[in-house]
């Protein structure tokens, strides 16, 4: 999951960025509204955390332009202005959630989890795919009730594939969702992450199918059921033991 944080308070921005990255989110940060608008116009994100008091372009204007482009990106507004009027303006322009400063980091992280789930189509906190279960709240994956030991990139890869089950996901889409600015991640690197994840899940009944030139898709491995057809009797007069 990739998050854009638009916050001009450098201390708060640094703390939030570090916390979100430790939680496994690829997080990019800008400190003014013009940079936020440019980033949102040219790149894909899974969530925008938006301060209203941005320089150069206000947070409300960033939000207005985002929705004018028909983007459904989930938006969490942060602001020091805890007035009803500010809340109404933000929500009327299309914000999905609202937090007033100061706030508890644990509450913000909970809202981030809820909004990223909503942006991926909502649904229950637990996603089940054959023997695989993914906890979207705790961001933990299990196979046959055994917790998987996954790196941050492997977990992010699995999360993207699970939230798009049945659809092809291209390497370029994976790079967009997993990588921050400055990350030098090639298509070959994505292949390495897919290979590592395959080794951890395919032995237990989940397969990452490759469609050459198009991308990847998560599939279940079905074990053929035992045949119910009766065994044919040997022809009359033959010796079964021969």
Q: For residues 50 and 112, state if they share a domain.
A: yes
Asked whether residue 160 is assigned to any structural domain, the reply reads yes
pLDDT for the residue 199: 87
Asked whether residue 208 is assigned to any structural domain, the reply reads yes
Asked whether residue 111 is assigned to any structural domain, the reply reads yes
The pLDDT confidence band at residue 169, using thresholds 50, 70 and 90, is: confident
Asked whether residue 40 is assigned to any structural domain, the reply reads yes
pLDDT for the residue 233: 44
Of 59, 89, 119, which marks where a domain is finished? 119
The residue assigned the tokens 């209203």 is 52
Asked whether residue 229 is assigned to any structural domain, the reply reads no
Q: For residues 130 and 84, state if they share a domain.
A: no
The residue assigned the tokens 């960025």 is 17
Of 89, 119, 149, which marks where a domain is finished? 119
Please, which residues bridge with residue 30 across strands? Answer: 6
Number of domains in the chain: 2
Of 77, 102, 119, which marks where a domain is finished? 119
pLDDT for the residue 61: 95
Q: Is 10 exposed, middle or buried (0-12, 13-18, 19+ CB in 10 A)?
A: exposed
The answer on pLDDT for 4 being more than 80 is yes
Q: For residues 113 and 51, state if they share a domain.
A: yes
What three-state secondary structure class fits 27?
strand
Q: For residues 115 and 130, state if they share a domain.
A: no
Asked, as a colleague might, if the bond just before 84 is cis with ω within 30 of 0, I would say no
Instruction: Give 16-29 pLDDT, tens digit per residue.
Output: 999 888 887 889 99
Q: For residues 21 and 108, state if they share a domain.
A: yes
Q: For residues 203 and 177, state if they share a domain.
A: yes
Mean pLDDT of the chain, nearest integer: 82
Please, which residues bridge with residue 127 across strands? Answer: 134
Is the separation of the CB atoms in 39 and 11 below 8 Å?
Answer: no
The answer on pLDDT for 12 being more than 60 is yes
φ, ψ of residue 6 to 5 degrees: the values are -110, 100
Pairing status of strand 75-79 against strand 47-51: parallel
With a pLDDT cut of 90, the percent of the chain lying above it is 26
Distance CA 199, CA 164 (A): 20
Distance CA 182, CA 160 (A): 21
Q: For residues 78 and 10, state if they share a domain.
A: yes
pLDDT for the residue 49: 97
pLDDT for the residue 51: 93
Q: For residues 80 and 175, state if they share a domain.
A: no
pLDDT for the residue 204: 65
Q: For residues 172 and 83, state if they share a domain.
A: no
Instruction: Give 52-110 pLDDT, tens digit per residue.
Output: 989 999 999 999 999 999 999 999 999 876 667 777 888 888 999 988 888 888 899 88
Q: Supply the range of the domain harboring residue 106.
A: 2-119
The pLDDT confidence band at residue 127, using thresholds 50, 70 and 90, is: confident
**CA angle at 191 for the pair 209 and 112, rounded to the nearest 5°:** 85
The pLDDT confidence band at residue 229, using thresholds 50, 70 and 90, is: very low
The pLDDT confidence band at residue 177, using thresholds 50, 70 and 90, is: confident
Q: For residues 18 and 112, state if they share a domain.
A: yes
CATH code of 159's domain: 1.10.10.10
What three-state secondary structure class fits 156?
helix
Residues 6 or more apart in contact with residue 71 via CB below 8 angstroms = 40
Q: For residues 36 and 114, state if they share a domain.
A: yes
Residues 6 or more apart in contact with residue 77 via CB below 8 angstroms = 50, 51, 52, 59, 63, 90, 95, 97, 98, 99
pLDDT for the residue 82: 63
């Amino acid at each position: 999951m990739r998050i854009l944080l638009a916050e001009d308070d450098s201390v708060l921005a640094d703390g939030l960025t570090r916390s979100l990255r430790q939680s496994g989110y690829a997080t990019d940060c800008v400190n003014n509204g013009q940079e936020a608008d440019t980033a949102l116009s040219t790149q894909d994100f899974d969530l925008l955390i938006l301060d209203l008091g941005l320089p150069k372009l206000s947070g409300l204007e960033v939000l207005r332009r985002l929705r004018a482009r028909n983007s459904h990106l989930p938006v969490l507004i942060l602001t020091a202005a805890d007035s009803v009027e500010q809340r109404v303006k933000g929500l009327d322009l299309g914000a999905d959630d609202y937090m007033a400063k100061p706030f508890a980091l644990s509450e913000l992280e909970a809202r981030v989890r809820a909004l990223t789930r909503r942006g991926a189509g909502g649904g229950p906190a637990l996603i089940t795919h054959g023997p695989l279960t993914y906890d979207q709240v705790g961001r933990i994956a299990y196979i046959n009730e055994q917790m998987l030991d996954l790196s941050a990139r492997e977990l992010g890869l699995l999360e993207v594939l699970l939230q798009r089950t049945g659809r092809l996901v291209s390497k370029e889409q994976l790079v967009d969702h997993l990588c921050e600015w400055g990350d030098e991640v090639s298509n070959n690197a994505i292949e390495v992450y897919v290979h590592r994840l395959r080794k951890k899940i395919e032995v237990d009944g989940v397969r990452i199918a490759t469609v050459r030139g198009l991308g990847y898709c998560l599939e279940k491995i079905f074990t053929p059921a035992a045949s119910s057809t009766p065994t044919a009797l040997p022809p009359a007069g033959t010796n079964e033991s021969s």
